[in-house]
Structure 1
Amino acid sequence: MIAFVPAALFFLLFCASARADRRRFQNAVLLGLTLICASVGVLFLLPGLPSPLDTIAMLLVFLVPSLGTLALGVFLIGNGLTMVRKEGSSPANLLSLAAGVGILALIALVVTVTDRGSHLVDSLVAGLVLLAGYVAFLFVCFLAYAYLYGRITVRGNVDYVVVLGSGLTGGEHVPPLLASRLEKGRRIHAAQLARGGPAPLLLASGGQGPGERVAEARAMADWLIARGVAREHVRLEDRSRTTDENLRFSRELMREEKPGYRCVVVTNNFHAFRAAMTARRAGVNGQVLGSPTAAYFWPSATIREFVAVFWEHRVVNLSICAAIAALTAVVAVVAVTT
């Protein structure tokens, strides 16, 4: 059982960090390290396992991730083609397609190029695999913890339900993506009223973007009122242009009206964890809940969110990538000179 001590330590750190604040990215990394250390612990147990448990454990540790990576590449390419067909070929919509092609290309490179007698090529490919492995590790951490974070439910009463804007269609109409957020907020509002709690204020957050005839907050408020929400239960924050501004300006409004406020923030499920990290930085007193998103839209949107999180922590991430590149260069030089 000593082999599982590192996994247990990382798990305790994860629990402590998540208990302190569930909106930290370090929670995701600690969860990932817990899973990796647990897998290593399983490897140490393999020699002592009876058949067929040893074979099953070997498959779980090695074969399943390998086949899963291949299947993921194929899935992402298929999803990318669906995105292009339904949403167009904008750079954001090409993310899942590009990720799938990149995964399959790296697999093909490893299979066809390595073990050909060139130490230089082997060193360069190994460095590329390490870089991809680091990014993949962070992505899996992000994905796993985002899933856990998405299981959060509202406990007790809140003073505000903040719904983040996401752009209008035709300059004034609420699109399906935003309607999903508004419906989630409306249901939270209705549920609190149904259990006898005080009426929370629905705070529609979003300014007027380029090409929009009205502020997003105005269109969102009209959508809520048209579906039965009392006008006096709706507030508008109509200055923001970004998620960071959504949360900062909403915080200012809530603090001004009720200094000891408690809130929940509503966005789409793929955006919930990153919005939660932004809310933490903005000093918003509340968790972030996600509303449903069309299944075909989710992979590309999730990749986009991960890229944004990776860049938000670019000092650490780029430093590690640079260290891997430098180590690869040293190994390649040694390979050429020997």
Structure 2
Amino acid sequence: MVAFVPSFVCLFLFCVGVVQDRRRVSNAVLLGLSTVFAAIALLLHVASERAQLGRDLAVALLTLAGVGVVTLACFLIANGITMVRKEGRSSANLLSLAAGVALVALLALLITALVLHTHTLLVMAATAVALAGYVAFLFLCFLVYGALYAHVRIRRRVDFVVVLGSGLIGGTAVSPLLASRLDRARKEHTRLSRKGRRPVLITSGGQGPDEKLPESHAMADYLVAQGFPADLIEREDRSTTTDENLTFSKALMERANPTYRCVIVTNNYHVFRAAVTARRTGIRGNVIGAPTAAYFWPSAMIREFVALLVAYRRTNAVLFLLVLLSGLFIWWLGWPAPGAAT
């Protein structure tokens, strides 16, 4: 049972974190650590009781991991090609393709190092695998906890429903992506209204350089055309980023009701990062998501994950540097001393 203590500790801290604020990134990491520590403890327990079964399980897990990486690389490359065909060759649309190619390059480096068996290549491969493992662990934490967060129902009173904007088609028309957010917001507003409240709906989005009107105005027009009451719509028309969406919407809500609570609506791939940003902005409310086209989801999730890595860049930079320095130290330890036989 002692081997399971780290898992139980992480699980306890995870539960405390969720009770305090479910929008914390640390909740995702603690849940991931609890799962990893539990798996390691279980494997050690099996190995201590039945050594051969433990070895078989370890081999099976390594084989499964290898097959999983190859399958994932193929899927990401295929998805990247689909994204380029349907959405164009922007840097954001190339993310899944780039991730797939990076996995292929990592596998090629690992196989080359094992075949040639040179010290430098082995250390390079081990360091690359360690960095990839760190990123993969964080990404899985992001995926799993983000999915859990997205399925939590909003039960508290709500005074505002905030819809985050996105680009307009032709500079004037609401895109299908944005329409899905507005439709979800209208549905949520109807659900909340059944409880005796009539929240104000805030459309949040400024005017981009290629747009003929602010996104918030096009969003409001779309809602009114769908039969939504115009008197329950408030426009926030200055923002150009998610941070500004939330900051400027927060100012509107605080001015109208200092004790407000809100629901923020975006697309499902954007839910957890929007929730983290809302927490850092000081907004009192949680985030819900609208559905997204299946082909668009993988690349969008990678983009959201990269944005979170950048948001916590100092912590990630330190950990990346520690892994690189560890690899360099191991390489230095194995390097032949001057005059030694090679």
Q: In which range does the TM-score fall when normalised by the shorter chain?
A: over 0.9
> What whole-Å deviation, never above 9, does each CA across 1:138-175 have from its counterpart, x for those lacking one?
11111111111111222143111000001111111000
1:69 maps to 69
Task: Identify if the C-alpha distance between structure 1 residues 184 and 64 changes in structure 2 by more than 3 Å, giving closer, same or farther.
Answer: same
Q: Which residue of 2 aligns with 1:226?
A: 225
The DSSP-based 3-state class of the residue aligned with 1:171 is coil
How far is the alpha carbon of 1:97 from its aligned partner?
Answer: 0.6
Deviation at 1:337, TM superposition (A): 2.4
SS of residue matched to 2:162: strand
Asked if the contact 1:18/1:27 (under 8 Å) is kept, the reply is: yes
Aligned-pair CA distance for 1:326 = 1.4
Matches within 5 A, 1:1-338: 1-47=1-47, 57-58=57-58, 61-114=61-114, 116-193=116-193, 195-338=194-337
Unpaired runs of at least 5, structure 1: none
- Which range is displaced more, 216-225 or 327-336? 327-336
Residues 201-237 of structure 1: per-residue CA shift (max 9 Å, x gap)? 1110011111111110100001111111111111111
Letter in 1 for 2:290: S
Deviates further, 285-294 or 133-142: 133-142
Q: Distance in 1 between matches of 2:192 and 2:119?
A: 65
> Residues 328 and 196 (structure 1 numbering): CA distance in 2 closer, same or farther, change over 3 Å?
closer
Count residues with an aligned counterpart: 337
How many angstroms apart in 1 are the aligned matches of 2:205 and 2:40?
A: 47
Which amino acid counterpart does residue 139 of structure 1 have in structure 2? F
* Counterparts of 1:47 and 1:237, CA distance in 2: 60
What is the CA-CA distance between 1:65 and the residue it aligns to?
2.8
Stretch moving more, 35-44 or 111-120:
111-120
Q: Secondary structure at the match of 1:114?
A: helix
Contact 1:159 1:263 in 2 (8 A): yes
CA contact (8 A) 2:270 2:289 kept: yes
1:269 and 1:290 in contact (8 A); partners too: yes
Please report how far the alpha carbon of residue 178 of structure 1 lies from its aligned counterpart in structure 2 after TM superposition: 0.4
User: In the alignment, is the contact (CA less than 8 A) between 1:157 and 1:197 conserved in 2?
Assistant: no
SS at match of 1:337: coil
Pairwise CA distance, 1:5 = 1.5
Asked whether the 8 Å contact 2:47–2:55 carries over to 1, the reply is no
Deviations 1:286-336 (A, max 9, x none): 001111000000000100111110011111111111111112112222222
Tell me the amino acid that sits aligned with residue 221 of structure 1. Answer: A
- Cα deviation digits, residues 242-275 of structure 1 (max 9, x gap): 1111101101100111111110000011111001
Structure 2 length normalisation: TM-score?
Answer: 0.94
Looking at structure 1, the residues matched to 309 and 242 of structure 2 have their Cα atoms a distance apart, in angstroms, of 17
Query: In 2, distance between residues paired with 1:196 and 1:320?
Result: 47
The residue type equivalent to 2:44 in the other structure is: F
Alignment RMSD: 1.9
CA distance in 2, matches of 1:142, 1:185: 24
- Farther off after superposition, 206-215 or 104-113: 104-113
Name the CA distance, whole Å, in 2 between partners of 1:48 and 1:128. Answer: 31
SS at structure 1 position matched to 2:122: helix
User: Percent of counterpart pairs with the same letter?
Assistant: 49
SS of alignment partner, residue 203 of structure 1:
strand
Distance 1:105 1:172 in 2: 43
Check whether the contact 2:47–2:53 (CA below 8 A) recurs between aligned residues.
no
Question: 1:70·1:104 contact (CA, 8 Å) conserved in 2?
Answer: yes
The answer on whether the counterparts of 1:39 and 1:61 sit within 8 Å (CA) in structure 2 is no
